[in-house]
Structure 1
Amino acid sequence: MYQNNRINILHIPIDMLNEDDIEQTVRDILEEEKSSQICFISYRDILKAQFNREYLDCLRSSRLNISITPALSFAASYLKYEKPPIFNPFTFVIRLLGVLERSGKSIYILGSKKKNILKSESNLKTSFPGLQIVGRYAGTFSQQEEKDIIMAVKKSSPSLLLTGKGLKGNNLWIYRNRKDFPGGLTLWGRTCFEVFSGKKKKPVNSSVGRIFWKTLLSFILPWKLLSYILFFMLLTIEKIKSR
């Protein structure tokens, strides 16, 4: 059984998962034979959780919380914690699919527009020929269709339910329906199917230059600056309380 090595930033656990440990970690979690959610965590997710109890519960119950923003490295350093590894979400998904393919596992893909999900299925079959795709559905669906989709996921019992745009609540959709899912991994990726289908370019890892321009942009866009200020204020309060 995988034992999480975690730090907590504003009551949200962040996993100290190194890239070399992904494969064994995934294998260990799959052996638990229960629905296990993976969440990508940015500083915005942590802010949202401070004001949304359901989202807080979602992130605190997630089996793996993967840091995807340098802001969390700063937060960990500011709180005098070990810095968590920062992942590019798309790169992490690719690594995850590679692990599942080598293990002869299966996935169900759900989300985005119909043409994107169909193209994604085709491209995934080409890129990961050993990976079984046991079902797929576009992300816009009615309440009745939602029940049918959940039943289809339950019956097909995929090793990974990979979801994207179109789900009501994103990570919360998975969290709200977690009791109806079979044993396996569940993951919501914002633009994974748009990238797989070729609709969007593959994201690149953040360089020093990209981080600089993103920081500069935050000063140009007031709401971004305000969110950074609020995040820093909450971190400062947490730091004072922990003394």
Structure 2
Amino acid sequence: MSKMPKALSVLGIPVHVMSNYPGWLLECLQQGRGTHVVTLNAEMTMQAEQNKSLAQVIQDAELVIPDGAGVVLYLRWLLWQKVQRFPGIELAEQLLQEIGQQNTAIKVFFYGGAPGVAAKAAEYWQQEIPGLNIAGTHSGYHSLEEEEKLRETFRQVQPQVIFVGLGVPRQELWIAKNRHLCPEAIWIGVGGSFDIWSGTKTRAPAWLGNNNLEWLYRLYQEPWRWRRMLALPAFAVKAFVYRLTARGAIS
């Protein structure tokens, strides 16, 4: 097993830095090492400041990747780290492709999104990777009774890779509460990835992502998010002050 990735601190929240996240997760799969993957951005970091339960879940996660531009710029400009942004959707896509090439017997589950969205996302990937073993899908909108049935499905099916698209912080808290159902699985919070894969929404053009402006495209698509985007300047101010008074590396 490869060594644990190096952990740095962004406002007291760990971020793991390594060159090959998908490869590390494949090793976890091969060894039955249960893993919770958090895709950290500035908005989630600021939420964790107010939500202690979320902060604890992130602290306990085996892998926290630098998903957002704010997190990456913090690591580059304030900690002088050569870090590349690794969006959660790209991690999920690369992991699926690796699974398809190496072992299509691995069972994958899509949970979250509006009714029908996860199923359409699964159809997309089954077309992209013939033979990919998608063990099930489930909407994120359901009754408590349906959720208990979903938990029983996890107990019986034991999928090994579980993508949860419930939005932040719901998906992180849900994974932490339920990962014991499939203790050897890789659990990844993927936000709105199902919307992209299903064709419900489109992803920002590459040039925006390459210039750390994907958040601007998201705001264009979903203008109601403007209040949430206020977390970005707040993060910038907090990051500068925090860096003046705290060390960045935690391990």
| Shorter-chain TM band | 0.7 to 0.9
Deviations 1:53-92 (A, max 9, x none): 1111111111211112221122223432414320233222
1:142 alignment partner AA: S
Taking only the aligned residue pairs, the percentage that are identical comes to: 17
* Contact kept in structure 2, 1:110 and 1:162, CA below 8 Å: yes
Q: Counterparts of 1:31-42 in structure 2 under 5 Å?
A: 31-42=30-41
Deviations 1:86-134 (A, max 9, x none): 0233222211111122232220111112322222222111111132011
Alpha carbons of structure 1 residues 179 and 239: separation in structure 2 relative to 1, 3 Å: farther
Give the corresponding residue for 2:97: 98
Give the corresponding residue for 2:237: 232
Alpha carbons of structure 1 residues 50 and 226: separation in structure 2 relative to 1, 3 Å: closer
Question: What is the count of residue pairs matched by the alignment?
Answer: 236
Is 1:155 the equivalent of 2:156?
yes
Deviations 1:157-194 (A, max 9, x none): 11211121379812111112122223110112121111
- After alignment, is 41-50 or 68-77 more displaced? 68-77
Is 1:30 the equivalent of 2:29?
yes
* Contact kept in structure 2, 1:33 and 1:184, CA below 8 Å: yes
Deviations 1:23-45 (A, max 9, x none): 42122211342431111110111
TM-score in terms of structure 2 length: 0.82
* Contact kept in structure 1, 2:7 and 2:14, CA below 8 Å: yes
Q: Secondary structure at the match of 2:170?
A: coil
* Contact kept in structure 2, 1:194 and 1:200, CA below 8 Å: yes
The unaligned stretches of length 5 or more in structure 2 are: 221-225
TM-score in terms of structure 1 length: 0.84
Alpha carbons of structure 1 residues 73 and 22: separation in structure 2 relative to 1, 3 Å: closer
Deviation at 1:212, TM superposition (A): 10
Give the corresponding residue for 1:137: 138
Instruction: Work out which structure has the larger RCO, using CA pairs closer than 8 Å and 6 or more positions apart in sequence.
Output: 2
Alpha carbons of structure 1 residues 156 and 143: separation in structure 2 relative to 1, 3 Å: same
- After alignment, is 228-237 or 116-125 more displaced? 228-237
Q: Secondary structure at the match of 1:109?
A: strand
1:124 alignment partner AA: W
Give the corresponding residue for 2:223: none
Instruction: Give the superposed CA RMSD.
Output: 2.8
Q: Secondary structure at the match of 1:177?
A: helix
Deviation at 1:196, TM superposition (A): 1.4
Q: Secondary structure at the match of 1:114?
A: coil
